Chain A
Amino acid sequence: MTQITLSKLAHSYLAQPKSDADYALKEMDHVWRDGGAYALLGSSGCGKTTLLNIISGLLRPSQGRVLFGDRDVTDAPTTARNIAQVFQFPVVYDTMTVRENLAFPLRNRGMDATYIAARVNQIAQMIGMEAVLSRKARGLTADAKQKISLGRGMVREDVNAVLFDEPLTVIDPHMKWELRTQLKQLHRQFGHTMIYVTHDQTEALTFADKVVVMYDGRVVQMGTPEELFETPAHTFVGYFIGSPGMNFIDAKVAGSVAHLTGADLALGASYAPITGKCKIGIRPEYCALTTGAGLPVTVQRVEDVGRHRVIRATMFGAPFNIIAPEGTPIAADDTRVQVVADKINVYADDWRVAPQRGT
């Protein structure tokens, strides 16, 4: 197991990329700590799979280096990297039995037969497939097949990292939960570095210790689920994480006051003068609808989603969402919103501005 370092890495599918837009992956420096459980989160086409394929060696980056520990593996083929990858659609060898499927990577590496048998049994036990070991892999359900793919990835003990490319896409919802739990368990048990690509925030947040959010070929933030929620580094993170996402309002920030179009709002901290297009961001969870003081909003509709209610409103013409606890009465004269000042983030040109210290 090793630490994986991406140094000045960039990739373009074009032979002669001209502008920034030609790059599927913009230049990045990134370190995947040994034994970490990472989720790579982002909308479709943001470069997640490209990044994954570069790590696994299925794709050679057009610029930069990939290091496994101290070893430069940029030009090393997949086979030399000793990584495992689980794909979006289950990949099993149909004509083999489940046992042969699990043993395949070990057999190809010329391992000892008694070791293979023991290891395969151990893995089968972990993924709960001992009962079907002698069955042909063809004809199993999609989630069973995906479990085999997963097992084939885990069967090598010395694997450098296990990569997952949206592995739960074809799995039924109730099985998703089970597989995800199993993944976490496997991670705890073996401590492999795991990188999990997904566009589903629930999957990312429940699986990973560290979530890496990508947007338009760039890593915009890496952090714990809590950091992503409380202090999104980019408006995309604010919008992508959370349901509904963060509210953004155009504002002019001076010191610790935000001047909105028609009102002023006190912030929880003081800011240095800001250049560029400025916005403030506030999570719907930190807003409350009131009758008295606060910012003016117009309620459009109220959605009851079970444990809480989502109030869809507009503020100065822009959409603004509020989450209210279950059973909160919403009266006709509730036209103001009160926000928790400490939870407001300030953004300049979509990137978060850190408040000044000591204020």
Chain B
Amino acid sequence: MEKTLNNRAWFLVLPVLVLVAFSAVIPLMTVVNYAFNDTFGNNQFFWAGLEWFQDAISSERLHAALGRQILFSGIILAIEVPLGIFIALNMPKSGFWSSFCLVLMSLPLLIPFNVVGTIWQIFGRVDIGLLGHTLASLGIDYNYTNNALDAWMTVIVMDVWHWTSLVALLSFAGLQSIPQAYYQAAKIDQASRWSVFRFIELPKMAGVLLIAILLRFMDSFMIYTEPFVVTGGGPGNSTTFLSIDLVKTAIGQFDLGPAAAFSLMYFLVILLVSWVFYTVMVTLDKQETK
């Protein structure tokens, strides 16, 4: 489409720019300020250069948190994506039960994060929680407050419960857009169920699936509220993910310098990953419409 070039149109963006400056850019600049300076209060700053960045990069505590974070994101993606696709493939395609399933699946998505955390915190308690108590009475030694593995499982199952619906709903939308003729043609070609999935459903879902993976990756990589409410990062540091660790550093220990340097790098990593996803999606789109 031919667009009219008129640079004065930029003035229309000005109000938004001012708003964003106050809500995002200026606070971010203070973070940048903290990242490059050291302070002992009284608004006195001493230039620290890249010292905090070097500290953060070589911090073992951070490495451990990053490791846990990657493991967590990896596990929940490995569970939620296939499970979401599987659910979408087996959902009723139309009629009352289809709508019923859609509503039922959207429910977890509508619950605020800290409520989800609270639900599972209570659900898993051995003394009064349905899950914890049931497991205990079955003779299974389950306690997420002092067993690291139990804590991990609780956090992962909670995330799967909360977010698989998102993948399923997006996949379902992708599946619904496939014309019936494709399935009929596949029948005539004697394609196996696997071939139908591999050559018809998966390619047609690729676009939405990529969005689902991006969203789930971003959200899980930044996850804070839910594990914080359930385990508080414990037992020990076993469920201390990057953002929990960041908050501990920043407003637990008031190490604003290292925390600021670290959060800038955190931000850049997420920006980089988003950019990679975006580029892949755009190329995919181009191939589709070519």
Q: What range describes how many residues of B lie at the interface?
A: 10 to 19
Q: List 28 A-B contacts (CB under 8 A).
A: A56-B188, A58-B187, A78-B184, A78-B187, A78-B188, A79-B187, A79-B190, A84-B188, A85-B185, A85-B188, A87-B181, A87-B185, A88-B181, A91-B179, A91-B181, A93-B199, A93-B200, A93-B203, A94-B203, A95-B199, A105-B189, A105-B190, A108-B190, A108-B191, A108-B195, A138-B290, A139-B287, A152-B185
* Cα of A87 to Cα of B189 in the assembled complex, Å: 13
Q: Which residues from chain A contact B191 at a C-beta distance below 8 Å? A: 104, 108
A85 touches B199 (CB 8 A): no
Task: Confirm or deny: B45 has a beta carbon within 8 angstroms of a beta carbon on chain A.
Answer: no
User: What CA separation (Å) do A78 and B186 show in the bound complex?
Assistant: 10
Given contacts A93-B199, A104-B189, A108-B195, contact A58 B184 (CB under 8 A): yes
| Minimum Cβ distance to chain A for residue B177 (Å) | 13
Measured CA separation A83–B181 after assembly (Å) = 15
Assess whether B2 is interfacial by the CB under 8 Å rule. Answer: no
Choose one: A77, A83, A95; the contact of B203 (CB below 8 Å): A95
- B184 CB, min distance to chain A CBs, angstroms: 5
Q: Does A96 contact B (CB under 8 A)?
A: yes
Confirm or deny: B60 has a beta carbon within 8 angstroms of a beta carbon on chain A: no
Task: Assess whether A321 is interfacial by the CB under 8 Å rule.
Answer: no
Interface bits B191-213 vs A (CB < 8 Å: 1, else 0):
11001000110011000000000
In the bound complex, do residue A91 and residue B190 qualify as a contact, i.e. CB atoms below 8 Å apart? no
Q: What is the distance, in angstroms, from A230's C-beta to the closest C-beta of chain B?
A: 37
Q: Does A109 contact B (CB under 8 A)?
A: yes
Give the nearest-CB partner of B192 in chain A: A108
Determine whether A149 belongs to the interface, using a CB cutoff of 8 Å to chain B.
yes
Does residue A351 face the partner (Cβ distance < 8 Å to B)?
no
Shortest distance between the CB of A157 and any CB in chain B (Å):
15
- Give the contacting residue for B287; candidates A83, A88, A138; CB below 8 A: A138
List residues of chain B with CB within 8 A of the CB of A85.
Answer: 184-185, 188
Given A89-B179, A105-B189, list of 7 further CB < 8 A pairs? Answer: A77-B187, A78-B184, A78-B187, A91-B179, A95-B203, A96-B199, A149-B185
> CB-CB < 8 A to B195: which residues of A?
108
Q: How far is the CB of A161 from chain B (nearest CB, A)?
A: 11
Q: Which 3 A-B pairs have the closest CB atoms?
A: A139-B290, A87-B181, A91-B185
Neighbouring B residues of A95 by C-beta, 8 Å: 199, 203
Could you say which residues of chain A place their CB within 8 Å of the CB of B188? 56, 78-79, 83-85, 105
CB-based contact B184/A87 at 8 Å: yes
Main secondary structure of the interface of A (DSSP, over half): loop
B199 CB → nearest A CB, Å: 4
When chains A and B are docked, how far (Å) is the Cα of A88 from the Cα of B179?
11
> In chain B between 199 and 232, which residues have their CB closer than 8 angstroms to a CB of chain A?
199-200, 203-204
> What residues of chain B lie closer than 8 Å to A94, measured between beta carbons?
203-204
Which chain A residues in 56-77 approach chain B with CB under 8 Å?
56, 58, 77
Question: What are the residues of chain A within 8 A of B192 when measuring CB–CB?
Answer: 108
| Chain A residue at minimum C-beta to C-beta distance from B286 | A139
**Which residues of A have CB within 8 Å of B290?**
138-139
Q: How far is the CA of A96 from the CA of B198 in the complex (A)?
A: 11
Residue from B181, B189, B204 in contact with A89 in the complex, judged by beta carbons closer than 8 Å: B181
The answer, yes or no, to whether B277 is at the interface (CB within 8 Å) is no
CA gap between A105 and B186 in the complex, in Å: 9
- Cβ < 8 Å to B, chain A residues 95-117: 95-96, 104-105, 108-109
Q: Which residues of the other chain, A, contact B189 by a CB distance below 8 angstroms?
A: 104-105, 108, 152
State which of B182, B185, B187, B288 has its C-beta within 8 Å of the C-beta of A138: B288
Task: Kindly identify, within residues 112 to 171 of chain A, every residue whose CB is under 8 Å from any CB belonging to chain B.
Answer: 136, 138-139, 149, 152
Separation of A152 and B185 alpha carbons in the complex (Å): 10
**Assembly CA distance A69 to B167 (angstroms):** 49
Closest A residue to B182 using CB positions: A91
CA separation between A96 and B199, bound complex, in Å?
8
Most buried by A among B185, B199, B200, B290: B185
CB-nearest residue of chain B to A152: B189
B218 CB, nearest partner CB in chain A, Å: 27
A84 (CB) vs chain B CBs: closest residue: B188
- Chain A residues with Cβ below 8 Å from B181 are 87-89, 91
Complex interface: chain A residues within 8 A of B203 (CB): 93-95
Q: How far is the CA of A58 from the CA of B290 in the complex (A)?
A: 32
Quote the shortest CB–CB distance from B55 to chain A (angstroms). Answer: 47
Q: Mark B132-163, 1 if CB is under 8 A from A, else 0.
A: 00000000000000000000000000000000
Instruction: Kindly report which residue of chain B lies nearest to residue A109, judged by CB atoms.
Output: B190
| Most interface-central of B182, B188, B192 (chain A CB within 10 A) | B188
Whole-angstrom distance between the Cβ of A110 and the nearest chain B Cβ: 10
Q: Nearest-CB distance from B286 to chain A (Å)?
A: 9
Chain A's nearest CB lies how many Å from the CB of B254? 54
CB distance from B29 to the nearest CB of A (A): 46
CA distance A91 to B186 in the complex (A): 9
Interface centre among B189, B190, B192 (most CB of A within 10 A): B189
A149: which B residues are within 8 A, CB to CB?
185
Q: Which residues of A contact B287 (CB under 8 A)?
A: 136, 138-139
Set of chain B residues within 8 Å of A77, measured between Cβ atoms: 187
| Residues of B close to A109: CB separation below 8 A | 190
Minimal beta-carbon separation of B284 from chain A (angstroms): 10
Q: Once bound together, how far apart are the Cα atoms of A88 and B185, in whole Å?
A: 11
Closest residue of chain B to A100 (Cβ to Cβ) is B199
Q: A78 CA to B199 CA in the complex, in Å?
A: 19
User: How far apart sit A56 and B187, CA to CA, in the bound complex (Å)?
Assistant: 10
Contact with B along A193-230 (1 / 0, CB 8 A): 00000000000000000000000000000000000000
CB-defined contacts of A138 to chain B, threshold 8 Å: 287-288, 290
Q: How far is the CB of B196 from chain A (nearest CB, A)?
A: 10
Q: Which of chain B's residues have a CB closer than 8 A to the CB of A79?
A: 187-188, 190
